[in-house]
Amino acid sequence: MTGRASRPPLDLPGLDQRFSRITAVPGGGADEGLRREWHYLDTGDELGRLGVPILGTILAVHGNPTWSYLWRDLITQSVQAAESGSPAWRIVAVDQLDMGYSERSGIHRPLVQRVADLAAFTDALPLTGPVISLGHDWGGVVSLGWAVDHPSQLAGVMLLNTAVHHPEGVPIPAALRLAGARGMLAASTIHTTAFVDTTLALASPALNAAVKDAYRAPYRSGARRQGIGGFVADIPVDSHHESFSELERIAAGVAELDLPALMLWGPRDPIFGDRYLDDLIDRLPQADVHRFEGAGHLVAEDGPYANAVLAWLSDNADRLAKSASTPPRKSISQASSEPEYPHFRPLWHRLDERRDDTATAVIDMSTRGRGGPLQVSWRQLSDRVRQIASGLSAIGVHKGQRVSLLIPPGPTLTAVVYACLRIGAVVVVADAGLGVKGLTRAVRGSWPDFVIGEVPGLIAARALGWPGVRISTARLPRVSAAALRVSYSLKDVIAIGAGTSVPTPPRSEDEAAILFTSGSTGPAKGVVYRHSQLSALRDVLASHFEVTADTGLVTGFAPFALLGPALGTRSVTPDMDVSSPRTLTAKAVAAAVRESGASMVFLSPAAILNVVATAGDLTQRDHGELERVRTFLSTGAPIGAGLLASAGALMPNATPHSPYGMTECLLVTDITLDGIRSAAGETNAGVCVGAPIGANRVHISALDVEGAAAGAPSSQPGVLGEIVVSAPHLKDHYDRLWLTDRAATRETESDMDAPLARWHRTGDVGHLDHLGRLWVEGRLPHVIVTATGPIAPVGAEQDVEGVSAVRRAAVVGVGPHRLRQAVAVVETVPPTSRPGLASPELTTAVRASTALPLVAVLAVPQLPTDIRHNSKIDRSRLSEWAERLLAGGKPTAP
C-alpha cells in the first residue's frame, strides 16, 4: 500500500512544527523514474533567521521502529544554543521511506536501496557545508553507508547503538530472531504493534504516555507499519542474505575512515550490545566513546545524548573543520609517527636484567597448607613470562587486544600480567570485591578478547555470559573445560608457544592496562594506563621510598601486589582473601615478613583495622619478625593518626606513611606519622596527607556559592575547593567513558605553568596550607551548601569525634540547596540501641565541640559505610536518612 508524505500532528511533546518539511525526491534503483516524498526535520531556516554562521550539516537517520522524533532534543538544544549568536550545525533529521511520515512506497527496500535512497535525498536537498552523519539502530548502518559513499562531503560520524558486522557462527540477538521468525514477522511487526511496543518498553526510565504515543503516531495501522516489517526482514542473518554483501561493503569502508567519530552507547541494549560497540571501536579506534550506565537501546531517551553531541561538536571544532578539507582515509604510516618517551624502561625491564638470577622473586603464602609457601625465583619467573608471552601470541593474542584476568594475586597472576604486557596485550583487572554485578558490568564494559582465570572466575564468566576466549590457569578435565567453554589451559598455551619467539615489544605510548576503580563513588570505572605511565608509577615509588633489590615487599593491597618484579625486589602477598581486606590478620603479616625478609609493608585501611584488631594473637616470635619492617604504608583512603599509630606500634622500627592517591593516580602525596602528629597542632580542618611526591603537582579549584569547583586551579593556601592533580603516572583516560573523562580532566591554564598539561579532577575537596601540604576535607558531593557558603564535612567531624562519648561521626546536610543545615550523626560509646535523636547531654557536648552550627544531633548504632571501603562513611545515604527522620519518618537504621 502506498501513501504520500504528511506532517506529524501539532501536539506531539517536544516536537517543534517549525522544523517539519516535506520534499519530493527523484528515486533511484527500484524507484528509477519515480519521485518519492520525504518528511524530515530541518533547522536550517531557523539558523538563517537567527543570522548565525552555519558550520555544516548533521544528517540524522533514525532506526526501526522510530522516526525523526528521536532527534527532537538535539534539535531543540542546538537551536537554543544558536540563539546566543554562536556558529551552529544545521540538523537535518529524515524519516526514511516507508517510515515515520515519509511516503509509503509499497515496494521492498533492502539495505542497498536505503543507502541509495538517502543519497538521492541529500542530492535533492541539498546539504549545507561539510556533513557529519548521525545514526541509530539500522539508521546507523544506512548513515554509515552514506558516509562511506560521500568522502568529499564527510567531516565526521556519530553513532548511537548500531552495528555494521555480526561475527560468523554467533546467532543474531534473540529478540530479532523471534521477530523475524517465520510466522512471527508479519504478526509482530505489521498486523500488531508488538514490535513498536516492545521497543518503546526498552526505555529506562520508562517513557511517559505522551512520548510513547508520539512514537506510535506514524504507525497507527498495519498498512503504515509495512516498513517496520521490511526492516526486520532485511536483517542479514548470514552470508546468503541479499543485504549481506552491502553490509560487508559498508563495514570495510568504515574501517578506512580517518576522521573524528563519536559513539554514545546504552550497554543494556538486548539487541545492539557491547559486542557491536567493540567491533565499531576496532574499525574506528580514533572515536570518542561513552557508555551511559543504565541506558539501553533507546539511549537517546535514556541518557543526555544531546548534551554530549553538542559538547563533542564544540570540543572538536578544529578537527571537524580540518577533516572536512582532507580525504577521510587512513594513512598506512600513521602508527609509525608516534613519539617514544626518552629513557623509557618497560615494566618488565628488571625481569630481563635478572633472568639468570636464582634468588626469590615472588612468594605465594596461600599455599602454606599444601607443603609451605611457594617460592618462585627470578629465573623461573622470567622464563615463565616468556613462555606464556610466546604461547599467547601463538594462539592469536595480539598487541592492543584485551585480556581480562580473573586470578588472585600470586605468582600465576604476576607471570600472566607481565606476559601480556610484554606482547602489548592490554590487561583488564577488576577487583572481585566489586561483587558479581559489579564484575559483570566491568568485564562486559571492557569487552575483553580473552579471559584467563581460575575455576570460580570461569564459572562466573560462563554463567553470566562474559565475552572472550577462555583460558584456565590449570588444566581441567575435558568435560569441565567443555562446560565452561574453556579453549586452552596455561599449560596448553605454553606448549603451543614452545620454540616460538616473543613478538616485538609494545611502545611506551601503547595502552597497557585497564584498572577498575573500587566502585565506592559510583559504578566502577575502567582507568586506562599506557606503558609510559605504569613505568612512571614504578619510578616514583622506587625513588620516593628508596626501594632496592634487598627491600622486599609485603603487599596486602591489590594494586601494588604486581609491582615487585617491576621494582626488581621480591614480593609476597600474605595469606588472605585480597577481595576482602578485612580477612588479613596480624599473624598473616608477620608470617609474610618472616618468609620474605621484607622491610616494606603495604596495607589498605580496611586491612589495617583487622590487623590491629588481631594483634593480640601475635607471639613473641611474630613481634620479632615485625621488627624487621622499616617502611609501612597505608594505601587507600586517608586514615587518622590513631589507627596509623596502632598499626605502626606493631612494627616499631618502621616509619609509617599514609600516601594519598586514587586508581587514576596511585601516588600523589605522602606524609609520615610524625608529619601527621606535627600537623595535628595546627588549625587546618581535614586530614593532612602531606606534600606532592617527586614531579607530582596538586592544585585547588575554589568552590563558588553553589558549591561547584569553578575557580581557576591554583596553589594558593587556605582556599577550600576541589583537589586537582597532575603527575607523570596520571592515568591516560577512562575506558569508554568519554564524558566522564571530559568532566574529570582539566588542561593547563595560565596559572598552572607546569610542563605537565593534563590535570585530573579528583572529586575530593580540601585545601593547601602555607607549606604546600594537602588537607583532604571530604568529597565534592558531600559539601554542605549553606546560606553563607559551602562547608566541607571532615573538619567538623573531627571536632565531634573529640567528644568522649562519640566513636565516629558524620556531618551531613539537610534542606534545600544553598539553604542546607548541618546535622551530626554519631556512633556512641557505648553504642545506642536504636537510631534517633541523641540525648540532650550528648547533643550539648557535640554542639559545643565545633564552631559549625548543628540543627540536630542524631545517634545510630552504626554509621553506614560503602560496600568497598570500611573507612568511607556513606554520607549521601546518611543525608537522605536524616532528612526523612527529621521530617517525622520512622526511626529505622540508616
Domain at 347, CATH number:
3.40.50.12780
Task: Clarify whether residues 451 and 488 are in a common domain.
Answer: yes
Q: What is the 3-state secondary structure (H, E, C) of 641-679?
A: HHHHHHHHHHCCCCEEECCEEECCEEEEEECEHHHHHHH
Decide if 151 is inside a domain.
yes
Peptide bond preceding 830 in cis form (omega within 30 of 0): yes
Output the pTM of the full model.
0.92
How many domains in the chain?
A: 5
Q: Check which CATH number belongs to the domain holding 750 and give it.
A: 2.30.38.10
Q: Identify whether the C-beta of residue 511 lies closer than 8 Å to the C-beta of residue 501.
A: no
Task: Clarify whether residues 154 and 291 are in a common domain.
Answer: yes
- Cell 602531606 belongs to which residue? 690
Task: Clarify whether residues 495 and 600 are in a common domain.
Answer: no
Give the pLDDT of residue 42: 98
Q: Check which CATH number belongs to the domain holding 808 and give it.
A: 3.30.300.30
Gap between the Cα atoms of 589 and 569, Å rounded: 18
Backbone angles phi, psi at 661, to 5 degrees: -175, -175
Decide if 234 is inside a domain.
no
Task: Clarify whether residues 350 and 465 are in a common domain.
Answer: yes
Task: Clarify whether residues 620 and 669 are in a common domain.
Answer: no
- Cell 519515480 belongs to which residue? 34
Decide if 217 is inside a domain.
no
Provide the grid cell at 72.
527532537
Q: How many CB atoms lie within 10 A of CB 33?
A: 7
Decide if 199 is inside a domain.
no
Give the pLDDT of residue 339: 46
Decide if 206 is inside a domain.
no
> Amino acid letter at 628?
R
- Cell 552555519 belongs to which residue? 54
Give the pLDDT of residue 292: 97
3-state DSSP call for residue 740? helix
Decide if 456 is inside a domain.
yes
Give the pLDDT of residue 591: 95
Q: Print the domain residue range for 867.
A: 783-886
Task: Clarify whether residues 584 and 715 are in a common domain.
Answer: no
Decide if 335 is inside a domain.
no
- Cell 576466549 belongs to which residue? 469
Task: Clarify whether residues 601 and 622 are in a common domain.
Answer: yes
Task: Clarify whether residues 588 and 643 are in a common domain.
Answer: yes
Point out the domain boundary residue: 781, 816, 842: 781
Point out the domain boundary residue: 658, 684, 712: 658
Q: What region does 333 belong to: left with phi over 0, alpha with psi -120 to 50, or beta?
A: alpha
DSSP of 67-109: -GGGGHHHHHHHHHHHTTT--EEEEEEE--TTSTTS-B--S--
Give the pLDDT of residue 328: 62
Give the pLDDT of residue 519: 72
Name the β-bridge partners of 239. none
DSSP class of 563: -
Give the pLDDT of residue 511: 97
> Amino acid letter at 219?
Y
Task: Clarify whether residues 652 and 663 are in a common domain.
Answer: no
**Mean pLDDT of each 10-residue bin along the chain, 894 residues long:** 87 96 92 94 97 97 98 98 96 98 95 97 93 98 98 97 88 69 80 95 96 98 96 90 96 97 96 95 97 96 97 95 73 45 84 95 76 90 97 97 92 95 95 81 92 94 92 96 97 95 94 88 88 96 95 83 91 84 92 95 88 95 96 82 90 95 94 92 88 96 96 94 96 97 76 62 96 95 95 94 94 95 96 94 97 96 68 85 92 88
Largest distance between two CA atoms of the chain: 97
Task: Clarify whether residues 408 and 438 are in a common domain.
Answer: yes
Gap between the Cα atoms of 447 and 468, Å rounded: 7
Q: How many CB atoms lie within 10 A of CB 56?
A: 22
Q: Identify whether the C-beta of residue 540 lies closer than 8 Å to the C-beta of residue 387.
A: no
Task: Clarify whether residues 752 and 852 are in a common domain.
Answer: no
Task: Clarify whether residues 727 and 772 are in a common domain.
Answer: yes
Decide if 9 is inside a domain.
no
Point out the domain boundary residue: 451, 478, 506: 506
Give the pLDDT of residue 868: 45
Give the pLDDT of residue 751: 45
Q: How many CB atoms lie within 10 A of CB 422?
A: 24
Give the pLDDT of residue 327: 60
Give the pLDDT of residue 646: 93
